[in-house]
Chains A and B, each alone.
Chain A
Amino acid sequence: MIGTVTGAFTHRVLPYAGVDEYLDGAIPFVREGIAAGDRVVCVSTVGREELLRDELGAAAGEVEFVDAAAWYGHPSRTLADCLSDADASAGEGRRLRLLGEPVWAFRSPLEVLEWQRAEAILNVAFRDTGASLLCPYAASLPPGVVAAARKTHPETVRGDRASANPGFVDPWAFSAQCDDEPLPSPPDGTFALRIERPDLYWLRAYVADQVRHTALSGEDLQRLLVAVTEVVTNALRHGEPPIALRVWTRVDAGERSLVCEVTDAGSWRDGSGYGLIPPRPDRRTAAQGRFGLWAVRLLCSLVQIRTGEAGTTVRMWLRLPGRDGA
């Protein structure tokens, strides 16, 4: 039964085919929370919200409804915001109970992968929060998305029953699987700028010059410069020469992106965290080292990392405004 509120963290997937299965799982979860005095948040589309409100009746007034498109804006940011909500609720002695249906439509394969990784990593990030998260996944989603959900959620919900998920994979192992595929090579002829000096103002001037012809906004340029400086600073401190920077633009299904890649010959130790776990304000101890990678993820649309005996590659993506160069 879901009903035993132990205060322990739970993260469950609710696979559903049709409205009835959705409500059969979601409504008991929400009502439980209201009865227990939890902070109950429902992240959904407008259509789902109406459905839930109808079913809950007056009790809907106890629930915060949030638009899914706004909530699921950026994997790392969503994770951090949700985590600080959980911490804030816990601070008031209340459990955060979140019904959250991730948005999968209109995501590129790379973005889908990052959202799946976030589903896995939150098992680590939320471990001590006592939050209760229920994630509905429609049967109509691509089979790979539903299959991944069974790897990233420790439990599955059917109606008001939760059972352990045999397919659940250790979050870090899942995250590593996300990075199994080698990165495609940069476009032929991409210039590799060698970085040898710790003074990086000339590097920023180079990057700014490279992106001058793109439609990157001033704010995004600043984000990119901060991210690149951070990654290069890490490479200078912890990596091995040669360190190189490459910049190119890429069009993917009409989406234009700027890609900025930093490579070095070193490899990261296991347990580096890859900047995936949000720092907690009250536990800000690891100020140095790869902690900055967390911020780099926030600054970029997407970050890819590969590290091993062949060296380390950090690829930072920034989405460019407009489609097809418009």
Chain B
Amino acid sequence: MDTLWSVRRPVSDLRPGDHACLAYAGEDEFQHVVGAYVRGGLRAREAVLYLTGDAAAAVPGVPPRAAHRLLTVIAADEGPRARLDPEAVRDALAAEVARADRHGVRAVRIIADLTWALRRPDGLEVLLACEEHLERITAPSTRVTAICPLDRRRCDAADLEALRARHAVRAAPDPEFEDPVLTIVRTFQPAGLSLSGELDASRHAVLDQALAILPAGRDIHLDMAGLGFIDLGAINLLADVAGRAGTGSVVLDRMAPEMRAVLDTVGWARLPGLRVGAPA
């Protein structure tokens, strides 16, 4: 759940001093969000420090095994018997940040992918100590940003709550589309798009584009909670998408009651392939 003091921010909008977490449950979400963060950093010529358990791990957002002058992978845990050492993590990060300084790199992005360590004895305590150091490095800084991916499959509820409480910011996927009228953001649990604002014929093309990036062969969930208006053409478009070969249903979740009333009135909700899902 959102805590009162946590801010939700698209990864590309993270700013220096932000120590963010990303609780994810699938590889596609991890790749999508962390990949955008890594790519964005390298494109802006910032240093990217990827803290992981496995030095051979692929870094999201860059081609496998691609060497990059600004990308450093820090293996925090060498070998199966060694343990994650918060002080070593702190020293390694501090050294890399100092090195970036010396080379005149204006900003540093840290990715701390550490939830694998929860399986070790005292895993949570060790991880929380690492978070403490990350907070000290990041929060007062005008140049360092950090994101901690939290793999829900490796955390129990108490772990997740304890870890989230250490992050004032929650990283969110970058919008697939955003303007003053409409925002489209990819969702992963369930897979689909979250729509907010208003959708009419002037933005059918961007909806179609956003739908095209979704994995094929599965139901597409559209979170309509933030959508104040949808026109008949867009509903028609969704029915067409649902009718395409190899696509599952298009499920409309959390529609406002007024919008549901419109669908009921025109009978679109009965179209094959189009389903009304979770209530508002």
Q: Which residues of chain A have a CB within 8 Å of any CB of chain B? A: 80, 198-201, 204, 218-219, 221-223, 225-226, 229-230, 233, 236-237, 281, 284, 287, 292, 295, 298-299
Contact = CB atoms under 8 A, between A and B. Distances in A.
Contacts of A284: 239, 271
A281 B270 contact: yes
Given A223-B265, A225-B229, A233-B201, A287 B236 contact: yes
Given A200-B202, A287-B236, A295-B266, A222 B261 contact: yes
Nearest to B230: A226
Contact of B257 (A204, A219, A226, A230): A219
A98 B172 CA distance: 57
A200 B197 CA distance: 12
| Most chain A CB inside 10 Å of its own CB: which residue of B231, B236, B268 | B231
What secondary structure prevails in chain A residues at the interface with B? helix
Contacts, number: 71
Contacts of A222: 229, 258-259, 261-262
A292 B233 contact: yes
B263 to A, nearest CB: 10
Nearest to A279: B267
A233 B262 contact: no
Contacts of B267: 80, 298
Contacts of B262: 219, 222-223, 226, 299
A137 B229 CA distance: 43
Given A201-B197, A219-B262, A298-B266, 9 more contacts: A204-B198, A219-B258, A226-B262, A229-B200, A229-B201, A230-B232, A233-B200, A233-B233, A284-B271
A218 B261 CA distance: 10
Contacts of A80: 267
Contacts of A226: 229-232, 262, 266
What secondary structure prevails in chain B residues at the interface with A? helix
Contacts of A299: 262, 265-266
Contact of A199 (B202, B261, B270): B202
B272 A199 contact: no
Interface string B225-246: 0000111110010011000000
A225 B229 CA distance: 8
A188 to B, nearest CB: 32
A221 B259 CA distance: 10
Q: Which 8 A-B pairs have the closest CB atoms?
A: A222-B258, A219-B261, A295-B266, A198-B202, A199-B202, A201-B198, A233-B201, A292-B232
B66 interface: no
| Most chain B CB inside 10 Å of its own CB: which residue of A201, A223, A233, A281 | A201
A233 B271 CA distance: 22
Given A219-B261, A222-B261, A299-B265, A281 B232 contact: no
B181 A204 contact: no
A218 B258 contact: yes
A201 B261 contact: no
A211 to B, nearest CB: 14
A80 B270 CA distance: 13
A237 B202 CA distance: 11
B29 to A, nearest CB: 30
Given A198-B201, A199-B202, A218-B258, A233 B240 contact: no
A199 B181 CA distance: 9
Contacts of A295: 232, 266, 268
A287 B98 CA distance: 61
19 contacts: A198-B201, A200-B202, A201-B181, A201-B229, A204-B229, A219-B257, A219-B261, A219-B262, A221-B258, A222-B261, A222-B262, A223-B265, A226-B262, A233-B233, A236-B201, A281-B272, A287-B236, A292-B233, A299-B266
Nearest to B204: A233
A295 B236 CA distance: 11
A237 B259 CA distance: 24
B24 to A, nearest CB: 33
B261 A230 contact: no
Contacts of A201: 181, 197-198, 200, 229
B239 to A, nearest CB: 8
Given A200-B200, A298-B266, A233 B231 contact: yes
Interface in B193-217: 197-198, 200-202
Interface in B175-192: 181
Contacts of A281: 270-272
A14 B262 CA distance: 37
A281 to B, nearest CB: 7
Contacts of B236: 287, 292
B145 to A, nearest CB: 34
Nearest to A204: B229
Contacts of B257: 218-219
Nearest to A199: B202
A284 B162 CA distance: 53
B258 to A, nearest CB: 4
Interface string B137-156: 00000000000000000000
A223 B261 contact: yes
Contacts of A287: 236, 240
Contacts of A230: 231-233
Nearest to B259: A222
B265 A298 contact: yes
